[in-house]
Structure 1
Amino acid sequence: MTAADWAEAALAALRDEGSLSAIAIEPLAARLGATKGSFYWHFTNRDALIDAALADWEARSTHQLTAALAVHEGEPAARARELLRTMTGLAERDATELALLAEAGQPRVAAVLERVITRRLDALAGWLRATLGLSAEEAGERALRLYCEQLGRAQILRAIPGLLPEAGWDEERRLDAALESLLGPAAVRAPVGGGRQPARS
């Protein structure tokens, strides 16, 4: 086993159980078919493993955001769609972020979440400023509002899906709705980049 194997197993346990308490050495060793000796070869203690798992999640999140920003140059609607897919779609497909948010009372978790979410919000607000000409304040408020809205929806979809009509939608339809919510009354259907394009007056 490598240190990366242990970190991935720790994230999987967190995702499955929804709590940092799921990250325990003996159960993880059983999950991996490894020994406690393998763990102590790579980590001094459980806290070191949690730090490694959080660093791994942050690195992946940063890579995903960078990749989203690198595509669809010259196609604003398509780029916004990829940003939304990275920022909010992941919460529906992968419970890791929701589990981390539930553990945000832990300072080490809160610090990682703040860095990751700040990068995402800055990217989305930057797109809004460049594409719609919004002020920095308005763009930041709109990006934060959408982010909170979508994470709340993701939590409800996982916990009580029957409350939301989106439970029966595929991801593309949910992205359409999120993009319209982001752009407000300026949003119209358009084929550009497979998403929506802000109207121009």
Structure 2
Amino acid sequence: MVKASTTRQAWVDAAYTTFRDDGLAAVRVEPLARALGATKGSFYWHFADRAELVSAVVARWEEERTDATIALAQTGGDARQRVEALFSTVAHQRHDSATLYVQAAAEGVGDAVARVSQRRVDYLADLLVELGQAPDEARRRSFVALATVVGVGQLAAVGIGPDDPDALTATALAMVLA
């Protein structure tokens, strides 16, 4: 049965769920239309093309995985507490965005992923500088931390994960703060 109308937000929600579960490459108009009980015409009423939907999904990913994470960490008190809050929050998130790093170029969202990555590196580096690390060293450690998160996510995507995520977080935090 086809619904009378499907909102733009419903399309984005369904696409985001598909992205989280199966990766950005799985975000396709026809399967989403079937899942929503909508027509392709409904999709084209709200979006010019798939690229526009993908942009909306990536914008939501940025808001949920970067903006909201940084905002949450900012409530943590001093710089060390904010770093700890950041690591704890990231450790307990799904690792769904790791595949986005792999798919970024193919999906045409490399610029967005690069922008988000730079924001993440900059945020942590600023905290580490506030804790007394030299700016160059803080940037290197921040880059390694991001690379670790992406790598852990990619390993989780193929079923390899840490036995104790909290212990892994503590180890990564100790390395960054050492």
| TM-score (norm: length of structure 1) | 0.76
Partner of 2:67: 63
- Give the Å deviation of 1:118: 0.9
Alignment of 1:27-106 (within 5 A): 27-74=31-78, 76-87=79-90, 89-90=92-93, 93-95=94-96, 97-106=97-106
- Match among 168, 171, 178 for residue 177 of structure 1: 171
Cα pair distance change 1:94/1:151, threshold 3 Å? closer
Matched, 1:10 2:9: no
| TM-score (norm: length of structure 2) | 0.84
Gaps of 5+ in 2: 1-5
Cα pair distance change 1:41/1:56, threshold 3 Å? same
What SS class does the counterpart of residue 126 from structure 1 fall into? Answer: helix
- Looking at structure 2, the residues matched to 104 and 50 of structure 1 have their Cα atoms a distance apart, in angstroms, of 11
Cα pair distance change 1:108/1:158, threshold 3 Å? closer
- Give the Å deviation of 1:69: 3.6
Question: What RMSD, in angstroms, separates the aligned Cα atoms of the two structures?
Answer: 2.1
Equivalent pairs counted in the alignment come to 173
Matched, 1:153 2:147: no
1:23·1:50 contact (CA, 8 Å) conserved in 2?
yes
After superposition, give the CA deviation of every residue in 1:60-110 in whole Å (9 maximum; x if it has no partner): 234313323421223x333112222345553xx141x11211212237311
Which contiguous aligned blocks of 4+ residues in structure 1 show a shift greater than 4 angstroms? Answer: 86-89
What SS class does the counterpart of residue 105 from structure 1 fall into? Answer: helix
2:29·2:43 contact (CA, 8 Å) conserved in 1?
yes
Q: Which amino acid aligns with 1:17?
A: D
- Looking at structure 1, the residues matched to 82 and 108 of structure 2 have their Cα atoms a distance apart, in angstroms, of 32
- Looking at structure 2, the residues matched to 158 and 26 of structure 1 have their Cα atoms a distance apart, in angstroms, of 25
- Looking at structure 2, the residues matched to 81 and 30 of structure 1 have their Cα atoms a distance apart, in angstroms, of 43
Alignment of 1:116-135 (within 5 A): 116-131=116-131, 133-135=132-134
Partner of 1:188: none
- Looking at structure 2, the residues matched to 32 and 11 of structure 1 have their Cα atoms a distance apart, in angstroms, of 13
After superposition, give the CA deviation of every residue in 1:109-166 in whole Å (9 maximum; x if it has no partner): 11111111111111110111111x11111100011012212321232233142xx6x2
Between the two proteins, what is the percent identity of the paired residues? 32
Q: Which amino acid aligns with 1:16?
A: D
Partner of 2:3: none
Gaps of 5+ in 1: 185-201
